[in-house]
Structure 1
Amino acid sequence: MVVTRNRRRDLERSLPRHESPVILLDNGSTDGTPALVRRRFPHIQVVELGRNLGAPARNLGVRLARTPYVAFADDDSWWADGALRRAADVLDAHPRLAVLAARMLVGPEERLDPICMDMAASPLAAEPDLPGPAVLGFLACGAVVRRKMYLAAGGFDDVVFFFGEEERLALDLAAAGWGLAYVEDVVAHHHPSPSRDARGRLALATRNAVLNAVLRRPWPVVARVMLTAARGGPAERRGLRDALRRLPRALTRRRVLSPSLEAARRSLELPRS
């Protein structure tokens, strides 16, 4: 499943690399993306959403899927040959696994994404019924989810909307007793689109760090995250202001983690030797 918005050039490169079936969710593109995909890739199911739903667009795609597992991709990412067959085998063999986080290779030089390095070295306790290191996060463009569990946890939400949307879902899946694991031999490729606004993404990252904290973390953690943003540069302060505008909605959905899960989440913030 692919979510896109105004990235037709990236799709022309990535879509030929996808295995069928593929659902493409278009978040209100104005560059002719749906028409292009229907003309060039008639085997792909195109769903025009008419507006930008952000990450929650994936929820509709998961509901439309008819398979027990759903692989996510962005318009600038794709799965390696055989990766999805391997992912299905792993999920079949590990029934508690709700999210399989793949190894993500970035750019033509295929650098390992630093987030994957962190997941491979996860400090969380090993869980014998999982196929790799236990994690409390993942990269949405390189993850395969168990459809039933994803929907039961509510999928992605419109408070965070986009960028960093994985954290709240990962925590809720773990709170429900489901497993998330990094599986190194399932591989995805990510060639980041050149049409990216670095300062805008930093503001988004800051906004959503605050919102994720409000949604699930204790108040001292929320205060620390907000203070860090307030002491940052213009982009971080902009992100904090944007978060405050969304605060009422976040508060209505606030549900603090159990002490044991909060301790696990906090362990990910500790310096590593």
Structure 2
Amino acid sequence: MGRPRTQSDSSRITFVIASRNRAAELADVVQRLLDTTDCPIVVVDNASEDDSVATVRRVGARSAGRLRVLELDTNAGAVGRNAGVAASRTPYVAFCDDDSWWQPEAPAVGAELFDAHPSVGLLAARTIVLPRDTEDDFCRQLADSPLGRRAELPGPSILGFMSCAAMVRKTAFEAAGGFSEILHFRGEEQLVAVDMAALGWELCYCPQLVAVHQPSQVRPTTAAQDARVMRNAVLTTWLRRPPRHCVSATGTLLAGAMRGPDHVKAAGEALRRLPAVLQRRRPLPDHVEEALAVLEGG
């Protein structure tokens, strides 16, 4: 099944999974990664109310020490991944969700790409969605990035990614501050992307890396997810973009509140976070703003 496993993978890539209340799906993903790779795995449990921790520890009992479980006292959302990265002892990390995994050859491919391109901080993978077995629509956007591809990089330059299909250089991710507690979860990737780019790290789409996503049946309604994405897009704008963008984002937030109760709730959450946003607001350097303008124009 896939390429032969190698010791080099286990010394260079750790899988980090943040999960909450999806015991069965989480156990399936962890077992799949254990069966098809030699890499260590860090599972961060976001204060689950089901038997996630006990279930995954039963799986880990047969893993020869490859699996570590971190239990958080509260639901930290995407910030849980930060704890997983901090606990990793490898130079590179591959993120999974509790409904996603990587093809067996991905750790070796990712490590080789990072080794060969020391300026690259993040690699975004091609993502196959099950059960349709089709490529995620977002992959085409990444492949056709208006930022183009420089000859010295392993793929097109990007300023966006999906967490369930991304690998990071540990030092680059941590230098950028990881995922933001202000955003919590859903649409949290944009802030990480621009903060890494602001530090001079390159982000690339690499279709030779392949992740698989089988969307969970245990998830909030579409309206709730859309509302949270809108909220976090506005918060990201307030945190990093120039005033004219902040004014426009505020209009988007207020207009969105007309769409229903989920969006009203999201708008209220954004407004309550304003004091924290103002404390952490940090305008982006010119080269990142210019790249965002190219993307928005494209």
Amino acid at match of 1:226: T
Does structure 1 retain, via aligned residues, the 8 Å contact 2:224–2:263?
Answer: no
2:229 maps to what in 1? Answer: 205
Amino acid at match of 1:130: L
Amino acid at match of 1:143: A
Deviation at 1:266, TM superposition (A): 2.3
1:266 maps to what in 2? Answer: 293
Is 157-166 or 256-265 further displaced after alignment? Answer: 256-265
Give the SS at the match of 1:130. coil
1:14 maps to what in 2? Answer: 29
Q: Deviations over 1:97-151 (max 9, x none)?
A: 1001011111122221122111100001433321000001111111110011111
Q: Deviation above 4 Å: which 4+ runs of structure 1? A: none
Amino acid at match of 1:79: W
Does structure 2 retain, via aligned residues, the 8 Å contact 1:11–1:75?
Answer: yes
Does structure 2 retain, via aligned residues, the 8 Å contact 1:17–1:79?
Answer: no
Deviation at 1:41, TM superposition (A): 2.9
Unaligned 5+ runs, structure 1:
none
How far apart, CA to CA, are the structure 1 residues paired with 2:293 and 2:250? 16
How far apart, CA to CA, are the structure 1 residues paired with 2:265 and 2:83? 30
Does structure 2 retain, via aligned residues, the 8 Å contact 1:56–1:158?
Answer: yes
How far apart, CA to CA, are the structure 2 residues paired with 1:104 and 1:110? 10
2:50 maps to what in 1? Answer: 31
Give the SS at the match of 2:56. helix
Counterpart selection for 2:143 from 108, 120, 123: 120
Deviation at 1:229, TM superposition (A): 2.7
Does structure 2 retain, via aligned residues, the 8 Å contact 1:230–1:236?
Answer: no
Does structure 2 retain, via aligned residues, the 8 Å contact 1:137–1:166?
Answer: yes
2:242 maps to what in 1? Answer: 218
Q: How does 1:123-272 map to 2 (within 5 A)?
A: 123-197=146-220, 198-232=222-256, 233-234=259-260, 235-270=262-297, 272=298
Deviation at 1:236, TM superposition (A): 3.2
Unaligned 5+ runs, structure 2:
1-15
How far apart, CA to CA, are the structure 1 residues paired with 2:96 and 2:32? 11
Does structure 1 retain, via aligned residues, the 8 Å contact 2:31–2:59?
Answer: no
Deviation at 1:16, TM superposition (A): 1.7
Amino acid at match of 2:176: A
Q: Deviations over 1:80-101 (max 9, x none)?
A: 1211111111111111010010
How far apart, CA to CA, are the structure 1 residues paired with 2:268 and 2:152? 42
How far apart, CA to CA, are the structure 1 residues paired with 2:26 and 2:70? 15
Q: Deviations over 1:196-234 (max 9, x none)?
A: 221111111111011000111111111112212322312
How far apart, CA to CA, are the structure 1 residues paired with 2:58 and 2:266? 39
* Number of equivalenced pairs: 271
1:91 maps to what in 2? Answer: 114
**Identity over aligned residues, as a percent?**
43
